[in-house]
Amino acid sequence: MASTFSQNKSLELPGNGDYVNTWNIPVNGDMSIIDQALGGTTALNASSGSAVLTVSQYRSLILTVSGAMSADTIYTLPAGVGGQWIVSNATTGNYNLVFASATAGGTLVFVPQNSVILIACDGTNFSIISSSTTPTGGGTNKMFYLNDQIVIANYTIPVNQNAGTFGPVTITPGVSVTIPPGSYWTVV
């Protein structure tokens, strides 16, 4: 029988009777892939422009993105591929770094500059699991936290959590920010 490969990390799934007395070949190959998926790093250069990520690129847990952006850069996963990644955006240029799925109609994730975020994809939709924005400033004087001034997508503050934003803030018509009971949004 012929081997097949798993959807998300492309692990080899040997067919019944494959690799008789040579089982170490797929097992060792899969262990290397698992190791990369749990702690490997892939460096991406945003100045190269948008791209569909290859399995060897998206297999790593950590994606570090650098480079001078001259336009929005969109990294796209092949349709149906899911997983989670830690993304570090160290790009320059006033453009968006975006992660998307090739599956039509999926939700995008925007990764702010000077931030490290944990993102996840279910094979169609991306979401931010956790984020940490690194302060900016001149030289080693890192004391400024930045946020956008216009809310362009619906957002619900998680229950029993608070959110803070530096104002002024404009909410795009047709877009809503939902604040459930037990949560607060403070605009300073």
Those residues with Cβ within 8 angstroms of residue 117's Cβ, 6 or more apart along the chain or in another chain: 86, 87, 89, 109, 111, 128, 129, 130, 131, 132
pLDDT score at 136 = 65
Given a cut of 80, is residue 173 above it in pLDDT?
Answer: yes
C-alpha 118/C-alpha 112 separation (Å) is 12
| Higher per-residue pLDDT: 100 or 162 | 100
65 alpha-carbon distance from chain centroid: 11
C-alpha 134/C-alpha 175 separation (Å) is 27
Per-range mean pLDDT, top range of 34-38, 42-46, 47-51, 148-152: 42-46
CA triplet 87, 92, 96: central angle to 5 degrees?
Answer: 60
Over residues 73-102, the mean pLDDT reads: 94
Percent of the chain whose predicted confidence (pLDDT) is above 70: 93
Given a cut of 70, is residue 180 above it in pLDDT?
Answer: yes
Q: CA-CA-CA-CA torsion for 82, 84, 86, 88, nearest 10 degrees?
A: 30
Question: Is 151:172 a contact under the CB 8 Å cutoff?
Answer: yes
Q: What is the pLDDT of residues 108-162, one digit of tens each?
A: 999 988 888 999 999 999 998 877 666 666 666 666 777 888 888 888 887 888 8
CA triplet 20, 25, 26: central angle to 5 degrees?
Answer: 95
Q: Which residues pair with 99 in a beta bridge?
A: 75, 109
